[in-house]
Structure 1
Amino acid sequence: MERDVVIHLLEKGYVSIPVVFLDYYDAFGLDEKDMMLLLHLHRYIQQGHTFPTPEQLAQKMTLTVNSCQQAIGRLLKRGVLRLEQNEDDNGIMFETYSLKPFYEKIVTHLEAEYAPQDDTRDQDAGELYRLFENEFGRPLSPMEGETLAMWVDQDKYTYTLIKAALREAVISGKLNLRYIDAILFEWQKNGIKTPEEANAYSEKFRQKQKKGKDKETSKQSAPPYPNYNWLESD
């Protein structure tokens, strides 16, 4: 290898990769391809190239350009990557990628991991996880576990209210977190704070739906009005 080539490679410098990148990416539902894409984005940003194209990223990976575009979209949707609008000194707008959302998720995860432990809270959280896993008939995914934690820590739903929402989803035959999240949001919007209030609200809602269905069925089953032509009667 020629000396100039070696010097050129050394002049490219080094990329510092935070260890937490490798330790916690799976906690946010990311796979190895997602992680490798984040590492390449991290590398480009560190080198001052804050908006690499899918073509440039694909050249560094075993992904096609189209797959790379889809992966970027997936990272944006998962909230670990952000597209930011910036303006230079001449007033020209330009876009950059930011990994700040990923760092924020890691910090939040670390804060929760190293926070002083409350035995009662841990017992409640463990019971809630087991209850969901029993109803789902499988272990919860990392993303599902994070959703449960967000309901408690960010949305401030109580454990008893989350259990009531799970019960409501079981009754409705729609056992998924998106449906349960909609139930909790609806209850919060209507000032529901206890399982008793939730049960009363849900029963009232079901009665209202039943009346609507009965009314619709009655319309469909009613005998058609006879189309009688009075002008042709004897």
Structure 2
Amino acid sequence: MTCVPNDFIDSYLPRANGEYVKLYLYLLRTVSFEKEVSLEAVAEDLEYTEKDIRRALSYWEKEGLLYLDFDADGSLSGICFDGFGKKADAPVHAAEAAATQESPKKAILSADRIAALSAQKDIEELLFIAAQYIGKPLSPSEISNILYFYDELHFSKDLIEYLIEYCVSKGSKSRHYMEKVAFEWAKEGIHTVHEAKQSTNLYNRNYYKILNAFGIKGRGPAKPETEYMDCWLNTYHFTLEIILEACARTIAQTQRPNFQYADKILSEWHKSNVHHLSDIKALDAAHLKKQKAEKPKTAPANKFNNFHQRDYDFEQLEKQLLNT
């Protein structure tokens, strides 16, 4: 048997995409009997694309239930389960990098350069602080990432420290997630902690706009709510307009704020590659057309036919009339 923690069923399964749950259960099975597989084999067994597998792995890494390990050349070398207070290494290997398409190709620091940077006092302090935030000794790939932010992206020590603090506060200690945030900041031209805080405050403003769309005022978002909103904004990369449209439809359908219901709408739109409001209109039109095609044709109601019809013997009635 393969054991599934109740915490996973109670807290993670309800809001996760079904394909992601399927992959997670498959990986639990590989851990239980120490089966070594490749991404290609997983994709073939589950009838997914390798892109689907990478997307699901990134989702569970962001949820904090597993960590992805990478080789020096950036290729995925293993998956480590670290959820529910237990840790087990899953021998899953891949030949290709699992970095998302949005992230640029990262230059690999040489061993000499890593050693030189690590010997600097301020970098040594930074790595110590990072380990405290993450809550465990840093892996070689995590160290390499932090040094890359410093050496290639030209982030200051303070900015990298704030980057790690910010990601942990968002509920993710994932190296991959920190890398994504760092690349976004580099694209925006962020070089100071002040600029980073201004940028992250934009997400906070988006949180309150979404809460307002649900009619929630006078309080900040709860952690489960921020997890949903982070997924919509950062994982699905939906515009605020699309998210607010889902909120409006949720209220219209349920008459109350319901993040889980809105998440189902947005998950379906994500699967359908929705990027603009016009895409939603096209989906609505296709759905309406399908409904009309499937609707059974019935004879139109007639105000006379709606009543019970009596059967008369008209010949007998005629005879009775003639005899009177």
* TM value normalised by structure 1: 0.45
* TM value normalised by structure 2: 0.34
By percentage of residues, which structure has more helix?
A: 1
